[in-house]
Amino acid sequence: MLKCIAIDDEPLALRQIAAYISKIPYLELVATFNNAIEAQAYLAGQSVDLIFVDINMPDLTGVDFVRSLTNRPMVIFTTAYSEYAIEGFKLDAVDYLLKPFGFADFSRSAAKAHALYELRQNQRTTAAPKEEAEAVPKDKEYISVKADYKVSLVRIADIVYLESEGEYVRMHLADGSTITTLFRLKNMETALPADIFMRVHRSYIVNLRAIKAYVKGRIFLNDTEYVPIGENYKEAFQNYIDQHFRNL
């Protein structure tokens, strides 16, 4: 059970999040706040596993609030303003929900947090010393990654994109499944072939052959799933598009 709090200066949005949390059996809502300053005071004496927090709030923004936390729980940002997404991802947020969002999107974000929580719990209970899992190319077709107490061989072509989750990397595969491993994204970037994979954001690497479409600031991997393009990566991505595709 993940203990969580919700912070939003809009009463209706706060009630909606509380209602969504009540429908998810592994979430326990322990407190709600209509401003980040009160939440700050609460967390000074209490610990939680997950925070749902709006970004654009008066007095103290959600981003500044999260930056202020010494022992930072998992965070899912919620906001009506997509331009704040980059700031949220810079803080290694589990996810970013763009208002208005429905229960399906909320549930997916909660599931990501739950999976990360369980993985961390498993890592703490194992007797083996903490070490980063190796991603070793195998015949330029597979990589091997340590996850769930075993070594998985993953076909490189089946990796759609990789997502950093702090000390972990979540691999999103073509069949819709994911593998989360103790790894740093920059090391995964080194292990994967550069002609197929590109770092497009501080927290994301995409399989260039899996790209379906792109618009300003976003790369679509199917009709609904996309990853953001970071400011520092836009030029390199645009150069790749210009070199490999003809604009009609």
Give the pLDDT of residue 76.
93
Give the pLDDT of residue 83.
59
* CB contact at 8 A, 198 and 236: yes
Strand order in 226-228's β-sheet?
Answer: 213-215, 218-220, 226-228
User: Percent of the chain beyond pLDDT 70?
Assistant: 86
* CB contact at 8 A, 107 and 90: no
172 or 225, greater pLDDT: 172
Distance CA 151, CA 7 (A): 39
* CB contact at 8 A, 222 and 207: no
Q: State which amino acid sits at residue 3.
A: K
- Closest by CA position to 47, among listed 2, 107, 93: 2
Average pLDDT score over residue span 234-239: 91
SS3 84: helix
* pTM for this prediction: 0.56
* CB contact at 8 A, 188 and 135: yes
Give the pLDDT of residue 129.
45
